[in-house]
């Protein structure tokens, strides 16, 4: 549908990673970016792909964890004071209080001009009816299963790319969507209550689905698992991998 629109993997690392950047991505269209999450490594992640903060048009936030939102302070400040614009911030209503009152307010609510709110820095758009558009690209949101009682939403881009963000295995949810490839959270540890272990992915998804599945958000010892992952899945996704939308 769109021409020259791309999905770019900005980072694929576990939150503990010492070498890989935060598990964030971006949609590029008409030379403008929609960030898919904005962790604390966002500035390096953009630089590595040849972008600057001023290339950001919009930001989607999946859930409120540092490797997904802690870059918002930097982006908010630089956009407002250095580049003189406010990016659009697409969020589900359920995230607002946790994102501003419980997370960003402490560092962002007082500026030289006085009191500031989330709207001082961003054009906040609440996502209604589980979908929104970035230019002509349709993005559907889907509820995933991450930390208990923490709202977390993955996305499906144009029925082509399903990006789970942080979640345990969610086979019932994925079965409701069409996609060419899925980018799925994984942890390489044997047990984790909030991330999908390799075994849980092997047990939850059919081989057909797994062969369309790139794994992301992995620990630094991923090399030890590469042959097994290549055998059972599409593979590990890597920083800079790019897909046509």
Which residues contact Zn ion by CB under 5 A?
A: 65, 166
Q: How far is the CB of 95 from Zn ion (least distance, A)?
A: 12
Listed in sequence order, the residues at least 6 apart from 239 whose beta carbon sits closer than 8 Å to its beta carbon are 9, 10, 11, 12, 20, 21, 45, 48
Cβ proximity to Zn ion, 116 vs 182, nearer residue: 182
Q: How far is the CB of 208 from Zn ion (least distance, A)?
A: 28
> Both tokens of residue 39?
């962790």
**From the CB of 91, what's the least distance to Zn ion, in Å?**
15
Least distance CB 112 / Zn ion (angstroms): 33
Secondary structure of the chain as H, E, C letters: CCCCCEEEECCCECCCCCCCCECCEEEEECCEEEEECCCCCHHHHHHHCCCCHHHEEEEECCCCCHHHHCCHHHHHHHHHHHCCCCCEEEECHHHHHHHHHHHHHHHHCEECCEECCHHHHCEEEECCCCEEEECCEEEEEEECCCCCCCCCEEEEECCCEEECCCCCCCHHHHCCCCCCEEEEECECCCCCCCCCEHHHHHHHCCHHHHCCEEEECECCCHHHHHHHHHHHCCEECCCCCEEEC
Kindly tell me which of 14 and 65 has the beta carbon lying closer to Zn ion: 65
Q: Which is nearer to Zn ion, 51 or 100 (CB)?
A: 100
Q: Which one, 168 or 245, has the nearer CB to Zn ion?
A: 168
CB of residue 110 to Zn ion, shortest distance in Å: 28
The CB-of-217 to Zn ion minimum distance in angstroms stands at: 8
Nearest CB to Zn ion, comparing residues 22 and 58: 22
Q: Which is nearer to Zn ion, 65 or 210 (CB)?
A: 65
């Amino acid at each position: 549908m769109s021409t020259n629109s791309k999905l770019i993997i900005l980072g694929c690392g576990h939150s503990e990673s010492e070498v890989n950047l935060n598990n964030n991505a971006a949609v590029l269209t008409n030379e403008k970016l929609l960030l898919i999450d904005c962790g604390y490594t966002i500035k390096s992640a953009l630089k590595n792909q040849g972008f600057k903060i001023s290339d950001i048009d919009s930001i989607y936030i999946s859930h409120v964890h540092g490797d997904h939102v802690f870059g918002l302070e930097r982006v908010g400040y630089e956009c407002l004071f250095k580049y003189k614009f406010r990016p659009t911030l697409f969020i589900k209503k359920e995230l607002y209080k946790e994102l501003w009152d419980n997370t960003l307010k402490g560092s962002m609510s007082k500026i030289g001009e006085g009191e500031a709110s989330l709207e001082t820095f961003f054009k906040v758009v609440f996502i209604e009816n589980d979908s929104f558009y970035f230019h002509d690209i349709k993005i559907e949101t889907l509820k995933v299963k991450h930390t208990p009682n923490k709202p977390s939403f993955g996305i499906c881009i144009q029925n082509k790319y399903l990006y789970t963000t942080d979640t345990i295995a969610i086979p019932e949810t994925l079965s409701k969507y069409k996609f060419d490839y899925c980018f799925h959270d994984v942890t390489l540890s044997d047990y984790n209550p909030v991330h999908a272990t390799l075994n849980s992915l092997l047990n939850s998804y059919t081989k057909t689905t797994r062969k369309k599945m790139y794994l992301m958000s992995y620990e630094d010892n991923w090399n030890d698992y590469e042959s097994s992952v290549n055998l059972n899945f599409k593979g590990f996704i890597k920083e800079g991998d790019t897909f046509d939308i």
